[in-house]
Amino acid sequence: MKVIEVKNLKKKFGDKLIVKGLTFDVYEGEIFGFIGRNGAGKSTTVNMLTGISYPSEGNCHILGQENIDLVKKDIGVMPDAANYYYEMTALEHLKFFAGVKKIKPTTIELMNILKAVGLEGNERKKVKAFSFGMKKKLGVAQALIGNPKVLFLDEPTSGLDIQSSLEIQQLILDMAKEKRTIFMTSHNLAEVEKICSRIAIIEDGVINKYGSMEDLQKKYTNEQLVSIELGQIPQNIVEKMTEILSPFVIETHYKEGYLYCRIEDRNLTPKIIFALSKEEIEIFEVKQEKATLEEIFLK
């Protein structure tokens, strides 16, 4: 089921077109990663999807509704720069935002949310006494109020230490398991690669890459790297290796029991294995090294 449907979404500030016609869908239970450089238009897009601002052109439907006000209760938002009320305690802050959403969660429910984001023990501390990371976690907590079906998290882990990032990532994964749909932006490509099921890369207001990690890897890695763990081989064979494999590989490199082959097409892998077997070389493991999201992003 499509939970977020975006068609030709545009945003102008003055006469400057910032978001230049985005079209994509996000499905139920998916963790969708939205990545791009600073100023690419991520937060501007999140703001349109969550009703914080209006599109200049095009549209987005959330849970089938174009009027976001009708589904406000079903969506949770952690904006890029959350507004914090410094004189409020964490608990009061969440109560205030529950009021904005016109819902009335119990204190216990709110305490549980604070616990889930790692703020247990700080419930009655004033926000002005919070560190940057604690405020960030409070932002995630704010998005979780009322147990919404769709979550928009704008850079939920940026600036957090490794331990806290991992906790928030786990929380995001747990939420998706319960069929919640999560749209998140991030600059941490390893994080996106690890937890997101599909990804869109936005560049200068345009989506230039879109799909699952496997789709992107297939599409953007034409050259592939295969690593093969070999048994003991005599020096004369090591020297002959390049010659033996030359019909199939662009380049080979042998180091400490591992043979690395750069090939044009993954269909050549069996041929390499066959050629090595013919020389009676033992093969322990063959691994297709895949492009990382960082490599795809930089392409």
Ligand X SMILES: Nc1ncnc2c1ncn2[C@@H]1O[C@H](COP(=O)(O)OP(=O)(O)OP(=O)(O)O)[C@@H](O)[C@H]1O
Using CB under 5 A, list all residues that contact Mg ion.
Answer: 42-43, 80
Q: How far is the CB of 47 from Mg ion (least distance, A)?
A: 9
Q: How far is the CB of 151 from ligand X (least distance, A)?
A: 17
207 touches 200 (CB < 8 A): yes
Q: How far is the CB of 7 from ligand X (least distance, A)?
A: 19
Q: Would you say 43 or 122 has its CB closer to Mg ion?
A: 43
Q: Would you say 74 or 154 has its CB closer to Mg ion?
A: 154
Q: Which of the listed partners (ligand X, Mg ion, none) does 156 bind, with a CB threshold of 5 to 8 Å by partner kind?
A: none
Q: How far is the CB of 170 from ligand X (least distance, A)?
A: 24
Q: How many residues does the chain have?
A: 299
Q: Which of the listed partners (Mg ion, ligand X, none) does 13 bind, with a CB threshold of 5 to 8 Å by partner kind?
A: ligand X
Q: Would you say 41 or 76 has its CB closer to ligand X?
A: 41
Q: Would you say 187 or 290 has its CB closer to ligand X?
A: 187
Q: Would you say 16 or 177 has its CB closer to ligand X?
A: 16
Q: Which of the listed partners (ligand X, Mg ion, none) does 36 bind, with a CB threshold of 5 to 8 Å by partner kind?
A: ligand X
Q: Which of the listed partners (Mg ion, ligand X, none) does 18 bind, with a CB threshold of 5 to 8 Å by partner kind?
A: ligand X
HEC profile of the chain: CEEEEEEEEEEEECCEEEEEEEEEEEECCCEEEEECCCCCCHHHHHHHHCCCCCCCEEEEEECCECCHHHHHHHEEEECCCCCCCCCCEHHHHHHHHHHHCCCCCCHHHHHHHHHHCCCCCCCCCEHHHCCHHHHHHHHHHHHHCCCCCEEEEECCCCCCCHHHHHHHHHHHHHHHHCCCEEEEECCCHHHHHHHCCEEEEEECCEEEEEEEHHHHHHHHCCCEEEEEEECCCCHHHHHHHHHHHCCCCCEEEEECCEEEEEECCHHHHHHHHHHHHHCCCCEEEEEEECCCHHHHHHC
Q: Which residues contact 64 (CB under 8 A, 6 or more apart)?
A: none
Q: Which of the listed partners (ligand X, Mg ion, none) does 39 bind, with a CB threshold of 5 to 8 Å by partner kind?
A: ligand X
Which residues lie near ligand X (CB under 6 A)?
13, 18, 36, 38-44, 80
Q: Which of the listed partners (Mg ion, ligand X, none) does 44 bind, with a CB threshold of 5 to 8 Å by partner kind?
A: ligand X
Q: Which residues contact 94 (CB under 8 A, 6 or more apart)?
A: 105, 110, 113, 114, 138, 141, 142, 145
Q: Would you say 43 or 221 has its CB closer to ligand X?
A: 43
Q: Would you say 34 or 248 has its CB closer to Mg ion?
A: 34
Q: Which of the listed partners (Mg ion, ligand X, none) does 76 bind, with a CB threshold of 5 to 8 Å by partner kind?
A: none
Q: How far is the CB of 43 from ligand X (least distance, A)?
A: 3
Q: How far is the CB of 93 from ligand X (least distance, A)?
A: 23
Q: How far is the CB of 182 from Mg ion (least distance, A)?
A: 17
